[in-house]
Amino acid sequence: MIKKEKSFIMEQQDKKLREQLSKIKHKILVMSGKGGVGKSTVAVNVAVGLSLQDLMVGLLDVDLHGPNVPKMLGARDLKLSRKPDGRLGAIKYSPNLKFLSIEPFLPSEDTAVIWRGPIKHSAIRQFIGDIDWGELDYLVIDAPPGTGDEPLTVAKTMPDAYALVVTTPQEVSLIDVKKAIKFCQKIKLRILGIVENMSGFICPHCGKPVDIFKKGGGQKLADEWGVRFLGRIPIDPRIVDTGDAGKPLIAAYPESTTAKAFEELVRNIIVATEEMKKDILEEKFMRIAVPISSPSKIESDPEKFELFAIYDIENNKILVKDVVKKAENQGLIDFLKEQVATHILLFDPPKDLADYISQNEIKILVTDTSTESPDNLIEDFLKERQLH
Ligand SMILES: Nc1ncnc2c1ncn2[C@@H]1O[C@H](COP(=O)(O)OP(=O)(O)O)[C@@H](O)[C@H]1O
Ligand SMILES: [Mg+2]
């Protein structure tokens, strides 16, 4: 009995979460292989930069141990708002920018909190499901460094999120980026691109850029991995001051070289997110779901669709394959939308099912053999496409 009740609550939470997520056009997870490369700085300045372009923006700090966003925004005193329906709303920073971190939920700022993986997971889900963000063009998510629970939860909760990978020109950092890119592929996060932070130096006396370290590693790495290079941000001592003073540089010194660099990054991000959408329309990127009954067998009975092999395909190559279970009481379309599947591969589907799926803007691939393994079916499909 208790078990039933619990699953009902969780179902309601999932529903709220999905509703909220569907109102957010682009989700960007800012990540890096290691700390101190300027991830939070980039997240905050990009969020403010996007909001200055008349876009509706949310900024979510999912660092549960040491949230930086409220301080960097100079907004530690701002409170959560209460909506007319009783729900809490994200904190309003400006008419176009809302943000949230764990900070307002903690009894005092010095509280040391120990979070276990599953609690982290539910806290992050609640940040989105229980808090009203309204309609957003962009949600920028600042994750703690590395390849831990937080980025994983974000990827699982928002399968359509993109990763923005921050690096610095130093060799070690670039090695960390490779790790971060591999991690993204493993957890099916599409990579929006790479940003090279602390690239070159802005002289505090004359305000002009000086190249003291080597730069360009980020570009090379992006080329090597076939991902976009989105921009470089110089070392600028004012970044530290503005971070401490709580006024992001892009807003505090809009005429500076560094602010211009952030603006260019913002423009490139807008273009890149539109391109990522276009790649889906043009089928350069596909996420194909295949209902399976076992790893090597396609499930042909729609009543039994429960387990799905999911293939991410870019430029006719399989990037990753994953197996995902649909919740028992979740509808097929709900599930496919949540997974952001672009296609579904079915064995000889009944016409009403096929119609129902295509009405929901998910494309159907049909196979007339149920004996081939899903891997082979996908490989054959890709070979076939290559020929045409
Ligand atoms: N381009 C930059 N120029 C100068 N200082 C920077 C730059 N980017 C970040 N910093 C400083 O480096 C420190 C770490 O940045 P932060 O954004 O907190 O990194 P992360 O979130 O990756 O740990 C901060 O003190 C920040 O002000
Ligand atoms: Mg940080």
Ligand 1 centroid–CA 218 distance in Å is 17
* Mean predicted confidence (pLDDT) in 323-337: 90
Atom of ligand 1 nearest to the CA of 44: 17
Atom of ligand 1 nearest to the CA of 35: 23
261 shares a domain with 376? no
C-beta of 35 in contact with ligand 1 (< 6 A): yes
* Mean predicted confidence (pLDDT) in 94-117: 83
Looking at residue 330, its pLDDT comes to 86
C-beta of 199 in contact with ligand 1 (< 6 A): no
Cα separation, 152 vs 130, in Å, equals 20
pLDDT bracket for residue 83 (50, 70, 90): confident
Give me the number of domains the chain comprises. 2
213 inside domain: yes
2 inside domain: no
249 shares a domain with 371? no
Strands 317-325 and 190-202: unpaired
Looking at residue 84, its pLDDT comes to 86
pLDDT at 1 over 70: no
Query: What is the per-residue pLDDT across 208-245, written as a single tens digit (0 to 9) for each?
Result: 777 766 667 888 888 888 899 999 999 999 999 998 99
Cα separation, 340 vs 287, in Å, equals 7
The domain boundary residue, chosen from 229, 247, 281: 281
209 shares a domain with 93? yes
60 inside domain: yes
Of the listed ranges 38-52, 87-101, 143-157, 186-200, the one predicted with least confidence: 143-157
40 inside domain: yes
Query: What is the per-residue pLDDT across 264-275, written as a single tens digit (0 to 9) for each?
Result: 999 999 999 999
Atom of ligand 1 nearest to the CA of 197: 1
From 140, 239, 241, 256, the mutation candidate for ligand 1 (largest count of ligand atoms within 8 A of CB) is 239
Question: Which residue has the CA at smallest separation from atom 15 of ligand 1?
Answer: 38
pLDDT at 360 over 80: yes
Looking at residue 5, its pLDDT comes to 54
256 shares a domain with 130? yes
314 shares a domain with 244? no
Atom of ligand 1 nearest to the CA of 144: 21
User: Percent of the chain beyond pLDDT 90?
Assistant: 60
pLDDT bracket for residue 98 (50, 70, 90): very high
Nearest to 307 by CA among 321, 318, 329, 292: 292
Ligand 2 centroid–CA 32 distance in Å is 10
Looking at residue 116, its pLDDT comes to 82
299 shares a domain with 213? no
C-beta of 68 in contact with ligand 1 (< 6 A): yes
180 shares a domain with 268? yes
Looking at residue 111, its pLDDT comes to 67
Query: What is the per-residue pLDDT across 274-290, written as a single tens digit (0 to 9) for each?
Result: 999 999 999 999 999 99
Q: Which ligand is nearest to the CA of 66?
A: 2
Ligand 2 centroid–CA 40 distance in Å is 4
Question: Which residue has the CA at smallest separation from atom 11 of ligand 1?
Answer: 240
pLDDT bracket for residue 380 (50, 70, 90): very high
CB atoms within 10 A of CB 10: 12
C-beta of 198 in contact with ligand 1 (< 6 A): yes
119 inside domain: yes
- Work out the angle between the directed axes of helices 117-129 and 149-157 (0-180°, nearest 10): 40
CA atoms within 13 A on the CB side of 85: 6
Question: Which residue has the CA at smallest separation from atom 24 of ligand 1?
Answer: 240
The domain boundary residue, chosen from 281, 307, 323: 281
1 inside domain: no
Query: What is the per-residue pLDDT across 181-214, written as a single tens digit (0 to 9) for each?
Result: 999 988 889 999 999 999 888 887 887 777 766 6
Atom of ligand 1 nearest to the CA of 234: 1
* Mean predicted confidence (pLDDT) in 338-347: 93
Looking at residue 118, its pLDDT comes to 84
Domain of residue 57 covers 10-281
pLDDT at 169 over 80: yes
Strands 81-82 and 88-89: antiparallel
5 inside domain: no
**61-94 exposure pattern, b = at least 16 Cβ within 10 A, e = fewer:** bbbbeebbbbbbbbbbeeeeeeeeeeebebbebe
pLDDT at 6 over 60: no
Tokens coding 319: 């990037």
Give the phi and the psi of residue 88 in degrees, each rounded to 5: -85, 140
C-beta of 67 in contact with ligand 1 (< 6 A): no
Of the listed ranges 106-115, 125-134, 158-167, 267-276, the one predicted with least confidence: 106-115
Q: Which ligand is nearest to the CA of 168?
A: 1
Looking at residue 231, its pLDDT comes to 95
